[in-house]
Amino acid sequence: MIRNLFGILFLIVSGFFVYMVTLLSFFNFPDVELNKFLIIGGFCVPLAIFHIIGLALYRGANWKVSTGITFFVGASFNILVVFSIISIKASPELTETIDASSLSTISDYVTGFTTMAIFAGLGAALYFNGKQTNKEPS
CA 7 to CA 137: how far, in whole Å? 27
pLDDT one-digit tens code per residue, 78-119: 999 999 888 888 888 877 787 777 777 888 889 899 999 999
Q: Does the pLDDT value for residue 61 go beyond 70?
A: no
Alpha helices in the chain (DSSP H): 2-24, 33-57, 63-90, 92-97, 109-135
Amino acid at 42: G
Mean pLDDT of the 8-30 span: 91
Q: Looking at residue 100, what is its pLDDT? A: 72
Is 75:123 a contact under the CB 8 Å cutoff? yes
CA 22 to CA 76: how far, in whole Å? 10
> What's the mean per-residue pLDDT of the chain?
87
CA 15 to CA 50: how far, in whole Å? 9
pLDDT one-digit tens code per residue, 26-47: 988 777 667 788 888 899 999 9
